[in-house]
Structure 1
Amino acid sequence: MEQSMRPRQHQELFQRHTANPILTGANWPYPIHSVFNAGATTLADGSTLLLCRVEDRRGHSHLCAARSKNGVDGWKIDSEPTLLPDPVNYPEEIWGIEDPRITYVPELRKYAIAYTSYSRGGPGVSLALTEDFRSFERIGVVMPPYDKDAALLPRRFGKYWALIHRPTTLAQGAHMWISYSPDLRHWGSHKLMLEARHGAWWDADKIGLSPPPIETPEGWLVLYHGVRQTATGSFYRLGLALFDLQTPERCLRRGEEWIFCPEEP
């Protein structure tokens, strides 16, 4: 086959570690059903902390911390749940807490955890603060159902904090929004940040934030997941978008192609 007729190979941005999965339920020091959807951060000593979503056999989730010096192996997992639902004081957590995203906030000298609180009305967004992942200050629910896929940006914009999240409505679909707050408790100035595309696109049905945004000299780099409904179910892939450093709801560039997808059954 001539060179001009050979299929073009995509350049892969990510390489899966040969030891995957690096954590499974079999590693846990107490009985669980499964572990997945971890939030990740680097601690002050350079080690990696994963705040894992752990599901029990009821189908309810809590959060548990795992620590590693290199982020690959030698994991030290908390001997009991790190953060449990507290439906007595926070009734929005009655069916569990899920899918944390961690942001270190230099001004507060604390880590901010945005997580999904599963209420009777559906999933909403809650916030908590911690210095050490041992004790937590719950702020409570900040975005009502249906809303999830949230992360706090690490600094203020003027006087206001910014939170990316993904509300879902039957009429408007599932798109990424950003909201602002003077105190992390009262949120407003809601702005549409990135829309799910339509038609045959890989991100045509709904989108949502994956890890927290990465601040770069060119802007906030966002990895987001797009979901396309197929005859065999939902298919998730990852894509990239870049947002303005000072006006983070303004999209500067958006990739047309997905960059990462499942490879195994």
Structure 2
Amino acid sequence: MVQSESCLFRRHAEGPVLTASDWPYPINTVFNPGATSHEQETVLLCRVEDRQGVSHLTVARSRNGRTDWSIDPQPLIDADPDDPASCWGAEDPRVTRLEELGCWAITYTVYGPAGPAVALALTEDFRTLTPKGVILPPENKNASLFPRRVDGDFVLLHRPVSAASDTADIWLSRSSSLDSWTIAEPVLRSRRGPAWDAVRIGAGPPPIATSRGWLLVYHGVKAGAGTQVYRAGLALLDLERPERVLRRSTQWVLSPSTRYERQGDVPNVVFPTGMVHRLDTGDLDLYYGAADTSIGLATAKLDEVLDFLWDCEPVDNGL
């Protein structure tokens, strides 16, 4: 039975979990966080835009992942004015726990005159970093790393764009070492026509391994009259061949509907970037940017999400 958006993902009843007014220093907006659990706390690595319009990444921590946030007084990752790749900012992180290395990988977008590129850093405590630098050159973004190797390689979803293409889709690259990456392989393409994800798509939080495949949350964009609408959808990828899409939701599962999602610096945006699987409850806590202005939270049951996806028509791929 297909469920509606309202009963699959349930928004936090009190609205955004973080806004600019929560910050310990003056900022414009906070949005698009990576998310994980560390030392019995929910850790969000938040994109913070300052009052010059430049973004950096700052850590916020909470015992329950909803309230009483402790926010670091300084960014963990900042723009580097001496680096042409990142002099215009650091944006839209995803956070992946790599048990093999005993650390977390942070994939994020760096921004400079050449355009957006993908950078990588490793951390054991969200206080110190081992930077790996730019791993995918411009124009590339929306990078999300799988939590374990597949067939011996680390696997990275990302969104390359070239002048020769009129679409922006989800592709996959592989690496034996996290340093150099293979030529991208297509995974999921934006749909055509009036679909909610027809303009462009991008990977959201790092995929979660389930008994039925890798669960992927992604964002899709549709052009409207004088505006664009960002929504969230779902796909299921083969565990051993993640370039193979098993299921893909035809309908979105989260769409701008509240005031804080429809009004802000960029109206009509739900942009999922962080997700925490609560093993004790089976909940998926999905953290997302709302109108490029605040951080929202929506929660679903993993088994209900998988049932919803399994009821979708089987597909051989997402192309």
- TM-score after normalising by structure 2: 0.77
Structure 1 partner of 2:27: 32
My pick for the range that moved more, 237-246 or 169-178, is: 169-178
Task: Verify: 1:243 aligned to 2:237, yes or no.
Answer: yes
Of 23, 27, 30, which residue of structure 1 is paired with 2:18?
23
Structure with larger Rg: 1
Which amino acid in 1 is paired with 2:130? E
SS at match of 1:53: strand
Structure 2 partner of 1:53: 47
CA contact (8 A) 2:173 2:183 kept: yes
SS at match of 2:11: coil
Matches of 1:72 and 1:223, distance apart in 2: 20
Matches of 2:50 and 2:239, distance apart in 1: 40
Of 37, 42, 56, which residue of structure 2 is paired with 1:42?
37
Matches of 2:112 and 2:184, distance apart in 1: 22
Which amino acid in 2 is paired with 1:24? T
Q: CA RMSD in A?
A: 1.5
Shift of 1:94: 0.7
Which amino acid in 1 is paired with 2:22? N
Matches of 1:13 and 1:170, distance apart in 2: 38
Structure 2 partner of 1:203: 197
Residues 245-264 of structure 1 correspond to what in structure 2 (within 5 A)? Answer: 245-263=239-257, 264=259
Matches of 1:156 and 1:9, distance apart in 2: 33
Matches of 2:3 and 2:36, distance apart in 1: 33
Task: Verify: 1:177 aligned to 2:146, yes or no.
Answer: no
Shift of 1:15: 0.8
What 5-or-longer segments of structure 1 have no aligned partner? 1-7
Matches of 1:62 and 1:167, distance apart in 2: 22
Task: Verify: 1:119 aligned to 2:140, yes or no.
Answer: no
CA contact (8 A) 1:50 1:65 kept: yes
Matches of 1:76 and 1:54, distance apart in 2: 15
Structure 2 partner of 1:161: 154
SS at match of 2:21: helix
Structure 2 partner of 1:186: 180
Which amino acid in 1 is paired with 2:37? T
What 5-or-longer segments of structure 2 have no aligned partner? 263-319
Summarize deviations over 1:118-147 as a string: whole Å, max 9, x none: 021111111000000111011111111111
Which amino acid in 2 is paired with 1:168? V
Structure 1 partner of 2:285: none
Task: Verify: 1:108 aligned to 2:101, yes or no.
Answer: yes
Task: Verify: 1:93 aligned to 2:62, yes or no.
Answer: no
Task: Verify: 1:152 aligned to 2:145, yes or no.
Answer: yes
Matches of 1:18 and 1:61, distance apart in 2: 28
- TM-score after normalising by structure 1: 0.93
CA contact (8 A) 1:29 1:80 kept: no
Evaluate the alpha carbon distance shift between residue 13 and residue 93 of structure 1 in structure 2; reply closer, same or farther with a 3 A threshold. Answer: same
Q: Identity of aligned pairs, percent?
A: 50
Summarize deviations over 1:76-111 as a string: whole Å, max 9, x none: 0001222222343x4311100000000000000000
Structure 2 partner of 1:3: none
Q: Tell which has more relative contact order, 1 or 2 (C-alpha 8 A, sep 6+).
A: 2
Number of residue pairs aligned between Structure 1 and Structure 2: 256
